[in-house]
């Protein structure tokens, strides 16, 4: 972290000492008034979004009075982080995914959803400052950040990256630095000024009454001399007395009826209470289920591990597997596929239940066709596992379950068929599933999965180029699930392929209105705007993508191109180099560097950049033609001609390439070849006056020769 100085306002990172020490250190700094009382981020309190939920609960009542539309715009984010706000904030954008019964869930949120929620919350906090009419800057103090859950790490990292410290100075406090493998530690390094806190001389404990109870009532977070004394007293008690204190605290927490407490403090105390198997196991499973539905996958892994620790898998395999289903799925979504496969392997060892083996076969198949790194995928193994699941499903006796499971596993095999290069077979399978469920189930049964099937068929149709049929399926799924943003994104992409730009823009805008900030949609809209000549709109979209996700390389590529077209060489170089730090072998970004340097007269640097671009992608025409120009300016005519010949070979219908090569041919004395290029360029672009003039001039010279 940078060292603190007296320069402009900066976010701060306080490390060391106790909470009292850090509070004293803050009192000695020239900081603006508090925006809210200090917030505790320790995951033990409320699990995912402990800090973000506390901020939301504190702000929403006042913001509702001042600017209810601001709350409505962010209802998804607010209800995700603070479900207790449901009494104040109606969810206007429910989807089949969010409403599905546990037994009917077949679609889960992408793991990047929490990043989108974090960005939406940052914008809510930023706009709440204005809505509440503060007359100057404020500060927000967040404690225990080294113990923040992954969701809060993402939120706090986005907060210090995106908010102006002159408007809201964020102070992130803790005894030590967060896990370097998380997202918060790098954000502290880049976006906060370090303020080391020297622990003060330990004062004696205050002599509190019932110190052991104080330790439990603090949820084990009391620090300083009082915390040490309280913990010592707690640990000195017999195990039964400690358990009784945890039971008492659990009773208090349950009386609050705050859902987020059931994700943190409540299961913590029940695990240490008098009957952890009967009390903590169902609490952990409920917490896991809530987080799975919302896409908080790191928390699901935590609850699953803790739940399985309490359950004897040999004696109570069914309960162990309830955790295993969610644990394996969460690990898969997080890309931790080896751990996920280990869960499924252990389930096979523990259980002889056909349903368990059927589910494990499907889930392991998804690892080998979807979740594993490409080098570790095996489509044939995935297909064999899915065939096993399909065979087992055919033996089920329950009408609804047999129909659903058969369709579910055949739909999985359709994905494998696509990956094996047989989309026609995939189409047959998905259509068969749709027809079977329509015939065997009532309209209200498994609505989510039937929508998923039609969505998947639309994707297969699109891959086959049958775009009208794909659009017909998207029309159905949008009618059935009108608040699901991805449907509009996918249909917008299809409409763009069909040249229906206005309709595509409308779908992208609708998708954006249904989701927390979604960089991919803004990128697609920006790309479409750019292709239709709306440079200002495209620039705004690409800039917003980079603000949300500074690692979105393609946005740097496109924004650098816009800057080059505008003659803003410094901005183009800045974007290209920022993108190259993320993707050092990106040929488009090296080309942008080359173009910017060439236009600035730095020919040697430009040629080196073009060399790197061609090394990364020998088929990139813009790099070859750019390097040709630099080589010509440097007097190396043959090298320039070699590059243009290769470029024309790659794109023989590009009139500009033909025109430029004709110029070099003339410079080389090869007039007949120049004439052929100019004649073809004139056919390819008959409206180009410069080509027509050059062609007429060359013909005149040839006729007079």
- Answer yes or no: is pLDDT of 517 > 90: yes
Residue 6 has pLDDT above 80, yes or no: no
What pLDDT was estimated at residue 147?
A: 97
DSSP 342-356: HHHHHHHHH---HHH
pLDDT at 610: 97
Query: Strands across the sheet with 192-196, in order?
Result: 2-3, 192-196, 11-15, 168-174, 138-143, 39-40
Bridging pattern class, strands 192-196 and 11-15: parallel
Residue pair 538/561 in contact by the 8 Å Cβ criterion? no
CA distances from 276 to 48, 259, 266, 281, 300 (A): 22, 20, 12, 7, 19
Average pLDDT over residues 611-616: 97
Residue 544 pLDDT grade (very low, low, confident, very high; cuts 50, 70, 90): very high
Answer whether residue 203 shows pLDDT above 80: no
Mean residue pLDDT across the chain: 94
Instruction: Note the pLDDT of residue 2.
Output: 44
Res. 209 pLDDT band, cuts 50 70 90 = confident
Residue 3: phi and psi, rounded to 5, are -90, 145
pLDDT beyond 60 at 620: yes
pLDDT band at residue 637, thresholds of 50, 70 and 90? very high
Global confidence as pTM: 0.92
Within 13 A of 436's CA, how many CA atoms are on the CB side?
A: 21
Q: How does pLDDT run across 464-495, given as a tens digit for each residue?
A: 999 999 999 999 999 999 999 999 999 999 99
Task: Please report where in the chains the tokens 């309280």 appear, as a residue.
Answer: 230
pLDDT over threshold 50, residue 8: yes
Quote the pLDDT of residue 106.
74
Question: Is residue 605 within 8 Å of residue 596, measured between CB atoms?
Answer: no
Residue 567's pLDDT is what? 96
With cut-offs at 50, 70 and 90, classify the pLDDT of residue 101: low
pLDDT at 7: 64
Fold for domain 2-200?
Rossmann fold (3.40.50)
Helix (H, G, I), strand (E, B) or coil at 172: strand
- 427 vs 38: CA distance, rounded Å: 56
Q: Residue 97: its pLDDT value, please?
A: 80
Alpha helices in 218-260 (DSSP H): 224-236, 239-256
Whether the predicted pLDDT of 127 surpasses 50? yes
**Token pair in block for residue 670:** 């090869």
Give the pLDDT confidence score for residue 320 in this predicted structure.
97
pLDDT at 55: 98
The residues near 353 (Cβ < 8 Å, ≥ 6 apart) are 317, 318, 321
Domain boundaries, the chain: 2-200, 204-232
Q: Kindly state the average pLDDT of the residues 88-101.
A: 80
Per-residue pLDDT of 422-445, as tens digits, reads 999 999 999 999 999 999 889 888
pLDDT for 55-72, tens place per residue? Answer: 999 999 999 999 999 999
CA distances (Å), origin 26, targets 9, 34, 140: 14, 11, 11
Arithmetic mean of pLDDT, 552-567: 97
Task: Report the candidate in 402, 405, 465, 410 with the shortest Cα–Cα distance to residue 433.
Answer: 410
What per-residue confidence (pLDDT) applies to 1? 46
Average pLDDT of span 592-600: 97
Length of the chain: 705
Rounded to an integer, what distance in angstroms lies between the CA atom of residue 454 and that of residue 470? 9
* Residue 178 backbone dihedrals phi, psi, to 5 degrees: -60, 165
Taking only the tens place, the pLDDT of each residue in 451-460 is 999 999 999 9
Q: Is the pLDDT of residue 10 over 80?
A: yes
Q: What is the mean pLDDT of residues 11-18?
A: 95
For 281-306, what is each residue's pLDDT tens digit? 999 999 999 999 999 999 999 999 99
Q: Would you say 214 and 230 are in contact if contact means Cβ atoms under 8 Å apart?
A: yes
Band the pLDDT of 3: cuts 50, 70, 90.
very low
Locus of tokens 């809210």: 36
pLDDT surpasses 60 at 543: yes
Name the band, by pLDDT with cuts 50, 70 and 90, for residue 628: very high
CB under 8 Å, gap of 24 or more: what pairs does 671-678 form? 671/698, 671/701, 671/702, 672/702, 674/698, 675/699, 675/702, 677/648
Q: Output the six-digit token pair for 534.
A: 């709306």
pLDDT in tens, 235-277: 999 999 999 999 999 999 999 999 999 999 999 999 999 999 9
pLDDT at position 5 is: 46
Give the separation between CA 281 and CA 43, rounded to whole angstroms.
19
Residue 407 clears pLDDT 70, i.e. is over it = yes
């Amino acid at each position: 972290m940078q060292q603190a100085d007296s320069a402009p306002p900066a976010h701060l990172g306080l490390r060391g000492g106790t909470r009292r020490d850090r509070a004293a250190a803050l009192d000695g700094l020239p900081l603006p008034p508090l925006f809210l009382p200090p917030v505790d981020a320790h995951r033990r309190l409320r699990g995912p979004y402990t800090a973000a939920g506390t901020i939301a609960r504190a702000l929403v009542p006042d913001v509702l009075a001042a600017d209810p539309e601001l709350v409505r715009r962010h209802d998804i984010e607010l209800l995700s982080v603070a479900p207790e706000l449901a009494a104040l904030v109606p969810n206007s954008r429910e989807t089949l995914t969010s409403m599905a019964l546990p037994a009917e869930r077949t679609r889960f949120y992408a793991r990047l959803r929490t990043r989108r929620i974090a960005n939406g919350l940052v914008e809510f906090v930023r706009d709440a400052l204005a809505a509440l009419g503060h007359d100057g800057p404020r500060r927000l103090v967040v404690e225990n950040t080294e113990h923040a859950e992954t969701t809060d790490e993402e939120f706090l990292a986005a907060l210090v990256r995106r908010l102006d410290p002159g408007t809201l100075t964020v102070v992130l406090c803790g005894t030590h630095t967060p896990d370097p493998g998380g997202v918060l530690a790098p954000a502290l390094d880049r976006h906060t000024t370090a303020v080391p806190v020297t622990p003060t001389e330990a004062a004696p404990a205050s002599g509190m009454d019932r110190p052991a109870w104080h330790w439990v009532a603090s949820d084990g977070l009391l620090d300083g001399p009082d915390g040490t004394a309280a913990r010592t007293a707690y640990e000195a008690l017999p195990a039964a007395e400690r358990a009784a204190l945890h039971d008492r605290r659990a009773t208090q927490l349950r009386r609050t009826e705050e859902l987020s407490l059931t994700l943190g403090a409540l299961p913590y105390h029940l695990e240490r209470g008098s009957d952890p198997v009967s009390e903590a196991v169902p609490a952990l499973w409920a917490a896991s289920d809530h987080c799975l539905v919302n896409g908080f996958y790191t928390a699901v892994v935590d609850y699953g591990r803790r739940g399985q620790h309490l359950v004897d898998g040999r004696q109570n395999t069914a309960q162990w597997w309830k955790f295993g289903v969610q644990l394996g799925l969460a690990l898969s979504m997080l890309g931790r596929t080896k751990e996920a496969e280990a869960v499924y392997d252990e389930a096979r060892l523990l259980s002889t239940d056909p349903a368990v083996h059927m589910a494990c076969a499907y889930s392991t198949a998804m690892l080998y066709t979807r979740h594993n790194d490409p080098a570790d995928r095996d489509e044939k193994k995935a297909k064999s596992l899915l065939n096993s699941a399909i065979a087992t499903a055919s033996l089920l006796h329950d009408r609804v379950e047999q129909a659903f499971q058969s369709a579910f596993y055949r739909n999985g095999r359709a994905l494998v068929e696509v990956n094996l290069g047989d989309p026609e077979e995939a189409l047959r399978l998905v259509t068969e599933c749709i027809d079977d469920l329509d015939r065997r189930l009532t309209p209200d049964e498994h609505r989510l999965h039937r929508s998923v099937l039609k969505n998947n068929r639309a994707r297969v149709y699109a891959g086959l180029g049958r775009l009208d049929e794909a659009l017909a399926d998207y029309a159905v799924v949008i009618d059935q699930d009108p608040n699901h943003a991805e449907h509009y994104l996918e249909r917008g992409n299809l409409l763009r392929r069909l040249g229906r730009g206005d309709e595509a823009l409308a779908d992208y805008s609708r998708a954006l209105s249904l989701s927390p900030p979604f960089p991919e949609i803004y990128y697609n809209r920006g790309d479409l705007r750019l292709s239709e000549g709306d440079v200002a709109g495209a620039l705004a979209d690409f800039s917003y993508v980079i603000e949300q996700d500074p690692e979105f390389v393609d946005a740097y590529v496109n924004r650098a191109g816009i800057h080059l077209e505008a003659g803003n060489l410094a901005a183009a170089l800045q974007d290209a180099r920022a993108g190259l730090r993320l993707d050092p072998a990106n040929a488009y970004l090296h080309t942008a560097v080359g173009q910017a340097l060439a236009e600035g007269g730095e020919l040697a640097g430009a040629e080196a950049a073009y060399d790197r671009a061609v090394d990364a992608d020998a088929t990139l025409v813009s790099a070859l033609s750019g390097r040709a120009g630099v080589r010509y300016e440097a007097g190396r005519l043959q090298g320039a001609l070699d590059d243009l010949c290769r470029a024309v070979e790659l794109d023989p219908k590009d009139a500009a390439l033909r025109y430029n090569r004709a110029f070099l041919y003339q410079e080389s004395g090869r007039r007949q070849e120049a004439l052929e290029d100019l004649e073809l360029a004139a056919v390819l672009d008959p409206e180009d006056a410069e080509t027509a003039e050059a062609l007429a001039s060359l013909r005149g010279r040839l006729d007079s020769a």
